[in-house]
Structure 1
Amino acid sequence: MSSIHAIEAQNRTANGTGGARATRREGLVPGVVYGNKQENQYISIDPRSISKELYKPGFFSRLFALVVDGKTQHVLAKDIQLHPVTDAPMHIDFLRVAKDAKIHVNIPVHVINDDKAPGVKKGGIVNIVHHTLEVICPADSIPSEITVDLAGLEAGHAVHLTDIKLPKGVSAAHPDRDNTLVSIVAPGGGVKEEAEESAE
């Protein structure tokens, strides 16, 4: 499960476009915290605190402890605006969540043992069809990744949602869709079809 990292912030009284610009002029990133049946809270954050976490895997699927003027609340990052040239954070939205709440999050798919897959050894290419999987889980038990093991997989075959075991307490958000997560594409063709095409 993902560990909970703390992000320090301060309350800001000026909101709206003018308030956001004033915050950026001070060298800080404006943000808003909403949700959990509470009023919106407008904050400012040191951009280094955001950048430190932004480029780690699963930024939008990790629970953060947001400390605003000494008071802690648990949040998920929901949206971030970056500068079109420098990629510096310009604004960030956080969703406030209760630690025991069940939430929908997109978790990164992580492939292991691809070097042990017979299909790869024969020249097949690993094709990650879905880089994330939407799941439902407790807010304080968000998995850092969904592991897909390719050991034993032949070329032309695939791993579907029903083929993997999800962590305890985690369920697929759309169990009715048996999506292909990862496949091994054969050197000269695609994934094996469930039925042969009829002969002409």
Structure 2
Amino acid sequence: MAQWWRSAGGHLGTVAASRGSSSFRGCRNFHTIQAIPRECSGSRISARDRMQNRIPAVVFFQNLLEKVPEARSSSKKHLLTVEKKQIKAILTSPEAPFFCSTRFPLQIRAGSGSSHLLDSGSVLPIKIHRDEETGQILNLVFVWAEDGLKLKVDVPVVFKGEDVCPGIQKGGILNKIRPSLKYLCPSEHIPSKIVVDVSNLDIEDRIFMRDIEVHPSLKLLSKNENMPICKINPTIWENKEPVFE
């Protein structure tokens, strides 16, 4: 750890969060999710929707998931279906690679191809349910993400600089300890990802949760911000005594 303080100054400026608002603007013109209501749920109805190339979905306020009943809100909960083709296009789009940490506009129309708008707003996907064998999307869960609402978001961590990292070049291995970090975020400041620059790390160096620079309105939902996000581990052979035959 003797080299940690020397390397810290080289990467903390780039250990930062990509702002969700910019991702939202990029998606606004290309990915307004179109949905139609469904009156009821059930495995047979959902199977029929999938046969019609639609994905069952639901949207509600995130506080509906709270354990305390008084904190829950059931208003604006909608059972929906969305177009399978559109969702697959979004998931493979370079503009929105981090689906569950990106806000999208949502329009709920009276029917497929209808111009009659029933409801609209901004939403955040929080769950993609897939078939374990085929990988087919079974259903989607969204929460309302209007400006001013605070949401709990698992923000993915992305590492860069591995190709020039001194510790890796010496034979070390990047141990990616945390694939995501959970924040309480105002909807308008949800970061699509956390970019962690490891280009200055040597063997045994670490980057901690406390080192991440995010918008000041974000609150890290961790009991211990001193937990490491990543560490450059020495290779196995470096930890063993040499064997002579």
The match for 2:204 is: 156
Identity of aligned residues (%): 24
Distance (whole Å) between structure 1 residues aligned to residue 43 and residue 162 of structure 2: 49
Q: Is the 8 A contact 2:172 2:234 kept in 1?
A: yes
Structure with higher helix content: 2
1:170-185 residue pairs with structure 2 within 5 A?
170-174=218-222, 176-185=224-233
Letter in 2 for 1:180: P
Tell me what 1:113 maps to: 161
**Alpha-carbon spacing, 1:31–1:163, altered in 2? closer, same or farther (3 Å):** closer
Give the alignment of 1:43-192 within 5 angstroms.
43-55=80-92, 57-69=97-109, 70=117, 71-174=119-222, 176-187=224-235, 188-189=238-239
Please say if residues 101 and 193 of structure 2, whose CA atoms lie closer than 8 Å, have aligned partners that are also in contact.
Answer: no
Structure 2 distance, partners of 1:117, 1:81, is 36
Q: Distance in 1 between matches of 2:192 and 2:126?
A: 17
Preserved contact between residue 158 and residue 181 of structure 1 (Cα < 8 Å): yes
Shift of 1:163: 2.5
- Structure 1 distance, partners of 2:176, 2:154, is 15
Where 1:165 maps in the other structure, the secondary structure is coil
Judged with a 3 Å threshold, the aligned counterparts in structure 2 of structure 1 residues 159 and 84 are, in CA distance, closer, same or farther, namely closer
* 1:14–1:20 contact (8 Å) kept in structure 2: no
Corresponding residue pairs, total: 189
**Alignment CA distance shift 1:39-1:168 (3 Å):** closer
CA distance in 2, matches of 1:171, 1:116: 32
Aligned-partner residue type, residue 160 of structure 1: F
Normalising by structure 1, what TM-score? 0.82
Per-residue deviation, 1:181: 0.4
1:12 aligns with 2:33: no
**Which structure's relative contact order is higher, taking Cα pairs within 8 Å and 6+ residues apart?**
2
